[in-house]
Amino acid sequence: MYNQETNALTVGLIRGRHPLPVDEYIFDNAIEDVHDYKAIHDHILAFLQEKVGMRQAIGQGINQNDYTNINIYRNIYRGAKKLVVYVTGLTPVTAELIAACAYNGVFLTLMNYNTATGEYVAQEIF
């Protein structure tokens, strides 16, 4: 769900793992192989392109040792959309989400479940 007031897109990470207070998910189905990091990463990049506005552009990559232009993904709305994700505890998928957002300049907040209070707590990553 996109909130125009806060400029944030709020979604769940994986549908069906836990009840989450969202209507939209990055992964609508269970992940068959949680160790297929490339497939997970590619799926997250596709989601970022479609929902957050990531586009391929020419530029320099993170930690690149020269000024050669290469194809990179860039958030064309840089800072205009924040991504808030209710996570489900599946660490490899959460790690790929953080890496993709870090690499592509997406502002990310994770919503983690607090078992003591029964509420979600925001963890601002970037």
Q: What is the pLDDT of residue 58?
A: 60
- pLDDT, tens digit (0-9, with 9 covering 90-100), for 60-77: 656 667 677 666 555 554
Q: What is the pLDDT of residue 103?
A: 81
CA 107, CA 54: separation in Å to the nearest integer? Answer: 12
Q: Pull the structure tokens for residue 53.
A: 């506005």
Q: Pull the structure tokens for residue 113.
A: 């479940």
Return all residues near 40 (Cβ < 8 A) that are at least 6 apart.
31, 34, 92, 93, 96
pLDDT over threshold 60, residue 106 = yes
Q: In this structure, what is the dihedral angle of CA atoms 92, 98, 99, 104, given to the nearest 10 degrees? A: 150
Q: What is the pLDDT of residue 78?
A: 47
pLDDT band at 80 (very low <50, low <70, confident <90, very high): very low
CB 91 within 8 A of CB 37: no
CB 87 within 8 A of CB 98: no
Is the overall model pTM greater than 0.85, yes or no? no
Return all residues near 70 (Cβ < 8 A) that are at least 6 apart.
58, 59, 60, 61, 64
pLDDT over threshold 70, residue 120 = yes
